[in-house]
Amino acid sequence: MQRVVITGAGTVNALALDVPGTLRAMREGRCGIGPLYIPDLDRLQVRIGAQINGWDAEARFSRAQLGLYDRFTQFALVAGQEAMSQAGLRSVSNPLKWGCIMGTAGGGNSTVNDAFHTVFAEGKSRVHPFTVPRLMNNAAASHLSMTWNLQGPCFSVATACASSNHAIGLAYQMIRSGMAEGMLAGGSESMLNFGGLKAWEGLRVMSRTGCRPFAKSRDGMVQGEGGAVFVLESLESAKARDASILAEICGFSMTSDAGDIVMPSLEGATRAISGALADGGIAADRVGYINAHGTGTAANDKTESAAIRSALGAQADHVLVSSTKAMHGHCIGGTGAIEVLACLMALNEGVIAPTINHDTPDPDCDLDVVPNEAREASIDIALSNAFAFGGMNAVLALKRI
């Protein structure tokens, strides 16, 4: 089986519009959550989010392109450009052996919101002729494939908040098996509009005050927007072109709770963590850092803490665990990809992103959650957890190389 490495990374999120700026913000423990600036905000109860302010789409894309690109697709294309640039790729040598898998939960949600407003609020009888190509979940993956002439496997994954991890994990498996030589993989999301937020309000899992993962005072998640894209390729391919390697993906597992549609399962999450370790032949005592799903909801954080203890045993007392969602928000289908950046920072720079806003420890979350300030540590293995509505779990294991 082929070994699989990451050679490029790109991102767009509320902390920064690139990877260096995002990592700097994570090191500083900066919060990207603030007041929202969207139409009809007065009709919402939740008025905060990790919004990407100052996004100038007209400066980045032509008028013709913007007719086809929903906001989530724009984020993916800009992140993909950064990832390919860092990987040193202006093109791929064998397009038939390169592909793209992207995760998203809402797809072109901004387009859906605008179309509904046009029809129902404004009473118009027509919508934009490219409404369907803009809103379809595979739009970002399709446009990335067309931009970079990737003619191998190309599709989107929709597993709610685990979408990015599933996308990256499936790309890893394709390269490992020899089905592909390289892949673009990650996730993107943009649901910070009236329709998107009003739907989330109905679930009663959103905080009106802020995101406080693992803290006793936590009262819900805060939604963000953005995403990240990575260049994955075989170690052989990376070495052949003398590419810089950011990390090796050394394990992946996906499980289904087959239980409740919204309540997390201890058993399902435990199996996902244990499965990633087993897939990579990784002993629990080698895991130094876990980027937790850590949504800031009462049920998720408690269950995830118990799952980490169940999967790692005694090592749970020594592993560093943090949730970066308190900084960049919960970007739903794009969030796992952004969180992989924190794992890369831990592996390459020895800096652990903090869990900010951690005001009061919770006995039910009795892990070292790196509260409030980044910490230095030498890390060889990092895990990225993603546990989604619908009982969809996906855990990635990354190794310093």
Catalytically active residues are: 161, 293, 330
Residue 236 has a CB neighbour count (10 Å cut-off) of 11
Residue 223 has a CB neighbour count (10 Å cut-off) of 27
| Residues 357 and 364 sit within 8 Å (Cβ to Cβ) | no
Phi, psi at 358, each rounded to 5°:
-85, 90
| Residues 183 and 144 sit within 8 Å (Cβ to Cβ) | no
Nearest to 104 by CA among 66, 142, 55: 142
| Residues 23 and 212 sit within 8 Å (Cβ to Cβ) | no
Cα 97 to Cα 151, 153, 233, 234: the distances in Å are: 7, 8, 10, 11
Long-range CB contacts (within 8 A, 24+) of 237-242: 237/181, 237/182, 238/5, 238/7, 241/88
**DSSP bridge partners of 277:** none
Nearest to 76 by CA among 22, 17, 164, 140: 140
Angle among Cα 332, 30, 369 to the nearest 5 degrees reads: 70
- Coil, strand or helix: which one is 49? strand
Angle between helices 71-86 and 109-116 (to 10 degrees): 160
Report DSSP letters for 226-292, one per residue. Answer: EEEEEEEEEHHHHHHTT----EEEEEEEEEE--S-SSS--HHHHHHHHHHHHHHHT--GGGEEEEE-
Nearest to 16 by CA among 57, 65, 70, 54: 54
Give the tokens for residue 80.
């993909």
CA torsion 296-156-141-151 (nearest 10°) is 150
